[in-house]
Amino acid sequence: MQEITEPKDRLLLGPGPSNVNPRVIRAMTMPLMGYLDPTFLGVMGDVVELLRTAFRTKNDFTLALSGTGTSGMEASLINILESGDTVVVAINGVFGLRIADIAGRCGANVVTVDAGWGSPIDIGLVKQALENLDKVKLVAAVHVETSTGVVQPMQPLAELAHAKGALFLADAVTSLGGVDVRIDDWGIDICYSATQKCVGSPPGMSPITLSPNAVEAMRSRQNKVQSFYLDLQLLEKYWLTDHVYHHTASMSMIYGLREALLMLVEEGLEDRFARHSLNAQALKAGLRELGMGVLAEEEFQAPQLTAALIPEGLDEAKVRRALLNEYGIEIGGGLGSLAGKVWRIGLMGESSKSSHVLNLLQALESLLARENYKFDVGSSLSAAQKVFAS
Amino acid sequence: MQEITEPKDRLLLGPGPSNVNPRVIRAMTMPLMGYLDPTFLGVMGDVVELLRTAFRTKNDFTLALSGTGTSGMEASLINILESGDTVVVAINGVFGLRIADIAGRCGANVVTVDAGWGSPIDIGLVKQALENLDKVKLVAAVHVETSTGVVQPMQPLAELAHAKGALFLADAVTSLGGVDVRIDDWGIDICYSATQKCVGSPPGMSPITLSPNAVEAMRSRQNKVQSFYLDLQLLEKYWLTDHVYHHTASMSMIYGLREALLMLVEEGLEDRFARHSLNAQALKAGLRELGMGVLAEEEFQAPQLTAALIPEGLDEAKVRRALLNEYGIEIGGGLGSLAGKVWRIGLMGESSKSSHVLNLLQALESLLARENYKFDVGSSLSAAQKVFAS
């Protein structure tokens, strides 16, 4: 038999995937069925209902794509945008850039509103950009930027878009299940997420929801969508209306997603957000004792992803490697211009636990001590515990 | 707690998914890791090596997409074809039509060579079509048409394509792992498959391989690929060369695919093809006793998928429903013009077993007897057993 690489047990505290509850893993082992088996269609129906709860929406058009979060981003853009359409993209990190890239591949006229990585988008600049443009089809922004840990308020942007007669798209890949995402209340027309961050199942699917206005825009396009695989009108016929074959859905992933969503509903959205918030506060209190601040201003810090500023002079790659190899803990490095400057520490979904916060701080303290980095040993654990016990 | 639909245990003898070995299910429960974790990159490397064995290729460009077989079809076309390119598509079923649809969405000039559903493609007609055209970028055909059970010889088509200076694309969604697929020997430039048919893992991934000539064509295109998610040059950088982040790979599905490929290698390709062939012969011998012939001519019958002709006057939907509800056995109905005329019986991968053939024939006999359909009770089982014991 061929020699193969054995997967290792990891505490996943990076930008995703996060760890998965054994209930979700067990669900994935349930028997495969035909993609049009009435019982399997029932499972899909459960997922649709649960997603509506997670997204806080009544949108008929709610389903999960057979692809990762990036496939959701792509589906959202290519089904709305046509060649020559104008789209305004707010960019303050990697995923805003990615939206602009994909919109460009649609042949759209892409206008960007940029902010520094780690800063929120300036609403005034978006307003100004919209005023300077004739007709705008879509305004797009990232709710929680995984590259920076910034959470951007979505409602003001949605209002600006609607005032201009444009649709509003929110990337909720990292936000859904970790902070509130209110599709209907905030007026989000197009929203996609992923399964492996705060939702709590393995990577491989992308929940997506479209408002009636977005569905209308999709139906009234002039040209066929570039993609057959991500053609949302065909997917609607499979998931939601006539159950016409489009592709062979990934039963195992759908079972896992359904179980994760059930757990989310059982926990309750508010309790879940409070858990994410508390664990993030404890983490940041601990990091502060180690001399590590946070990239984003406090008001814009996402609880599920903390971009921690690395102290000068520390060999961050060495510490990160040791965390992985000696402690089995994954945290993320910085992307792009933030490489070497921040660590991205995710406390998402099942990975958002007080014990994980303490494990990470303990490992970090031990490794920093070995590097002769100056701090009070034990102080980060104590500071975190003060938050938990408060 | 919300009421949910419980999945049911099924014997999957339809057009896919097929059943999955417990080893594969167990592999899918292995721990998740970061998408750039060196250990996970090792797992991906194993998959690449094993796929080369399954495809019988030395192609550097060999990997698995995070999407189903249709995503492989789409990636293969959109990374090669540009607006205005001419592609010749051989069509004798649903999946040839789908290739033409996607090629059209690329803005390509799509020339089709059609054959009746259930017939093979006439090589002479392809030759003639190529002679009548000026410049052709790609010739595309389906190796095993899942809608008809026809296996089409690939090598003659590849030779015609190359003589015209075109690349040759083969859809191996249903063929890989069930009949021989010789990428290098036959001169196939672009080939994709799926995991849930003869490969033996759940649906959700698409193996793909490109010859050096196809890679060259991809690199020398004028315009960006329409899709970011399926941009093969970005995927190459993640899977094969620099391991640069592109999307969060679906670890669980990759573990399952690797285990299924290990089982394929352990069984041996020749033994695996012989198993598929023997079980198909037994099935057809049994069906013959029930007065049911096969849509395709013998020479072109794919062992993994038999399109059985339904006798006049039989309420096929009723029998198929009873098979599912009373026996837990799924077989497929006909698609398009073959609806009501054929049953598509898959004996693929883990579902290709002598015991499954006998279970199906037993259930069919019982249901047909209830319908007062005339046949010798027990004759189909006996005929199948004669094949197994020969």
The model's pLDDT over A213-226, given as tens digits with 9 standing for 90+, comes to 999 999 999 999 99
Q: Using CB atoms, pick whichever of A30, A70, A202 lies closest to residue B252.
A: A202
What local confidence, expressed as pLDDT, does residue A3 receive? 84
Paired sense of beta strands B206-210 and B190-192, if any: antiparallel
Q: For chain A, where are the E strands, in sequence order? A: 11-12, 61-65, 86-91, 109-114, 138-142, 144-145, 150-151, 167-171, 190-192, 206-210, 305-309, 329-330, 332-333, 342-346
Distance CA(B275)–CA(B349), nearest Å, equals 9
Q: What is the CA radius of gyration of chain A?
A: 21
Burial zone of B127 (CB within 10 Å; 0-12 exposed, 13-18 middle, 19+ buried): middle
What local confidence, expressed as pLDDT, does residue B1 receive? 53
Mean pLDDT (whole number) for B189-200? 98
CA distance to partner chain B, nearest, from residue A319 (Å): 15
List Cβ neighbours of A154 (8 Å cut-off, separation of 6 or more). Answer: A141, A143, A168, A170, A181, A186, A188
What local confidence, expressed as pLDDT, does residue A357 receive? 98
* One-letter identity of residue A250: S
Mean pLDDT (whole number) for B3-21? 96
- Tell me the HSE value of A173 on the side-chain side, using a 13 A CA sphere: 32
DSSP state of B179: B
**B318 to each of A36, A128, B174, B315, B364, how far by Cα in Å?**
16, 63, 27, 5, 12
Task: Identify the residue among A10, A250, A325 best suited for mutation to test binding to B, counting B beta carbons within 10 A and taking the highest.
Answer: A250
Q: What is the pLDDT of residues B224-240, one digit of tens each?
A: 999 999 999 999 999 99
DSSP state of A63: E
What local confidence, expressed as pLDDT, does residue A227 receive? 98
β-partners of residue B139 are: B88, B168
**Contact flag A33-B2 (C-beta cutoff 8 Å):** no
Token digits of residue B308: 């059985």
B-contacting residues in A 157-186 (Cβ below 8 Å):
none
Residues in B touching A31 (Cβ below 8 Å): 7-10
Residue B361, pLDDT above cutoff 70 = yes
Paired sense of beta strands B329-330 and B11-12, if any: parallel
Task: Identify the residue among A3, A4, A106 best suited for mutation to test binding to B, counting B beta carbons within 10 A and taking the highest.
Answer: A4
**Contact flag A32-B68 (C-beta cutoff 8 Å):** no
Q: What is the pLDDT of residues A98-155, one digit of tens each?
A: 999 999 999 999 999 999 999 999 999 999 999 999 999 999 999 999 999 999 999 9
Q: What is the pLDDT of residues B135-166, one digit of tens each?
A: 999 999 999 999 999 999 999 999 999 999 99
What local confidence, expressed as pLDDT, does residue B262 receive? 98
Is domain B269-388 classified as CATH 3.90.1150.10? yes
Q: What is the pLDDT of residues A326-342, one digit of tens each?
A: 999 999 999 988 999 99
List Cβ neighbours of A325 (8 Å cut-off, separation of 6 or more). Answer: none
**B276 to each of B269, B347, B355, how far by Cα in Å?**
11, 7, 13
**Contact flag B253-A248 (C-beta cutoff 8 Å):** no
Residues in A touching B16 (Cβ below 8 Å): 248
Residue B32, pLDDT above cutoff 70 = yes
**In CATH, what number does B22-265 get?**
3.40.640.10
Torsion angle of alpha carbons A353, B247, B97, B115, nearest 10°?
-110
Q: For A81-224, where are the E strands, in sequence order? A: 86-91, 109-114, 138-142, 144-145, 150-151, 167-171, 190-192, 206-210
What local confidence, expressed as pLDDT, does residue B116 receive? 96
Confidence of residue B3 (pLDDT cuts 50, 70, 90): confident
Widest distance between CA atoms in chain A: 66
- Rounded to 10 deg, the angle between the B38-55 and B251-267 helix axes is 40
Residue A36, pLDDT above cutoff 90 = yes
Task: Identify the residue among A21, A23, A32 best suited for mutation to test binding to B, counting B beta carbons within 10 A and taking the highest.
Answer: A32
List Cβ neighbours of A138 (8 Å cut-off, separation of 6 or more). Answer: A77, A80, A81, A85, A87, A88, A161, A166, A167, A168, A169, A190
What local confidence, expressed as pLDDT, does residue A329 receive? 98
Q: Using CB atoms, pick whichever of A25, A68, A251 lies closest to residue B66.
A: A68
What local confidence, expressed as pLDDT, does residue A383 receive? 98
Distance CA(A65)–CA(A173), nearest Å, equals 13
Is B45 in the A-facing interface, judged by CB distances under 8 Å? yes
**Contact flag B74-A229 (C-beta cutoff 8 Å):** yes
- Tell me the HSE value of B173 on the side-chain side, using a 13 A CA sphere: 32
Q: What is the pLDDT of residues A170-179, one digit of tens each?
A: 999 999 999 9
Under a CB-based contact definition with an 8 Å cutoff, are residues B196 and B203 in contact?
yes
Edge-to-edge strand ranges of the sheet holding B332-333: B305-309, B342-346, B332-333
**Contact flag A34-B228 (C-beta cutoff 8 Å):** no
Distance CA(B337)–CA(B351), nearest Å, equals 27
User: Which of A2-6, A74-78, A230-234, B88-92 is predicted with the least confidence, judged by mean pLDDT?
Assistant: A2-6
Q: For chain B, where are the E strands, in sequence order? A: 11-12, 61-65, 86-91, 109-114, 138-142, 144-145, 150-151, 167-171, 190-192, 206-210, 305-309, 329-330, 332-333, 342-346
**Contact flag B250-A253 (C-beta cutoff 8 Å):** yes
Residues in A touching B11 (Cβ below 8 Å): none
What local confidence, expressed as pLDDT, does residue B179 receive? 98
Residues in A touching B25 (Cβ below 8 Å): 29
A-contacting residues in B 312-351 (Cβ below 8 Å):
324, 330, 332, 335
Distance CA(A332)–CA(B252), nearest Å, equals 20
Percentage of chain B exceeding pLDDT 90: 99
Residue B349, pLDDT above cutoff 60 = yes
Is B101 in the A-facing interface, judged by CB distances under 8 Å? yes
- Which residue's structure tokens are 């969060």? B248
ipTM over 0.95: yes
Residue A2, pLDDT above cutoff 70 = no
Give φ, ψ of A272 to 5 degrees.
-65, -45
Is A29 in the B-facing interface, judged by CB distances under 8 Å? yes
B-contacting residues in A 244-273 (Cβ below 8 Å):
245-253, 255-256, 258, 262, 265-266
DSSP string computed for B307-343: EEEPPTT--HHHHHHHHHHHH-EE-EE--GGGTTTEE
If DSSP codes are grouped into helix, strand and coil, which group holds residue A217?
Answer: helix
Q: Which fold has domain A268-388?
A: Aspartate Aminotransferase, domain 1 (3.90.1150)
Dihedral class, residue B33 (left if φ above 0, else alpha if ψ from -120 to 50, else beta): beta
CA B26 to chain centre: 24
**Contact flag B227-A8 (C-beta cutoff 8 Å):** no
Q: Could you give the angle at the alpha carbon of B204 between the alpha carbons of B200 and B210, nearest 5°?
A: 85
Under a CB-based contact definition with an 8 Å cutoff, are residues A311 and A375 in contact?
no
**Contact flag A14-B34 (C-beta cutoff 8 Å):** yes
Domain positions in chain B: 22-265, 269-388
